[in-house]
Amino acid sequence: MPLEAIEPRRLYRRIADQLRLLIDQGEFPVGSRLPAERELATQLGVSRPTVREALIALEVEGRLRIRVGSGIYVIEPLPAAVVSNSASIEGPFEILRARAFVESAIAEEAARHAKAEDIARLDVVLAEVAGEGFLMHDRRFHTAIAETLGNGVLVRCVGELFDLRINPYFERLERHTLAATAWRTAHEEHVAIRDAIAERAPARAREAMREHLKRSHQRFARDFGEEPSAEDLFDNMGEVKATA
């Protein structure tokens, strides 16, 4: 029998597996409420973003229901044939961490090399902002920054990282978390990044991009009824390595 490659399990998937097993064993019966996110994180010895990713994964699978302002409840599982295979999907916070590393460095370099036509291109994108079409606007803005460096690989990398958010996890998070006016706040953060690049301030551009993605993380975390700590996104890098 030929050997098959073993795919390492991301940390949030291992947490989801553990919670699913407890549900199947009756530790958390149908209709019961799971412990609070903070309590789960403490018991499991992981960060709260990792717990959020695991809970969202189980909600996508149809094992949990997140009720804003009430809690997280175990529900009757869907038939196996109905459950989508989401084991290989990157978690939303994992994606945001990766983007923070890559795009902060790109913004810093863009501030060193941007020409007048690069700033004009950013201004065109910023002028097109609209509520319902903000997702595509968001993508155009981030790839436009990468275009400033004249490196097609970086442009493709930023675009592909952004496109990873088009998955059931992000869709479920957006349904729970994002207010109709959230795009306005994100747009203001885009303007701050643009201004730092235009003013040739590399350190400020890097920090503006990092802050933008950190705040994106916080916006996506609000459905669990607790404000995430400012350290959640960047101060648990050991877990980033574990999920790679």
pLDDT tens string 64-94: 987 767 788 999 886 654 445 555 567 777 7
pLDDT tens string 198-243: 999 999 999 999 999 988 877 776 645 444 454 555 544 444 443 3
Q: Is the pLDDT of residue 59 over 50?
A: yes
The SS3 assignment for 152 reads helix
Q: Number of folded domains in the chain?
A: 1
Domain that holds residue 214: 92-229
Averaged pLDDT, 146-161: 96
The SS3 assignment for 10 reads coil
CATH number for the domain spanning 102: value is 1.20.120.530
Has residue 170 been placed in a domain?
yes
Tell me the whole-structure pTM to 2 decimals: 0.69
Most trustworthy range by pLDDT among 10-19, 104-113, 129-138, 180-189: 104-113
Has residue 83 been placed in a domain?
no
Average pLDDT of the chain is 81
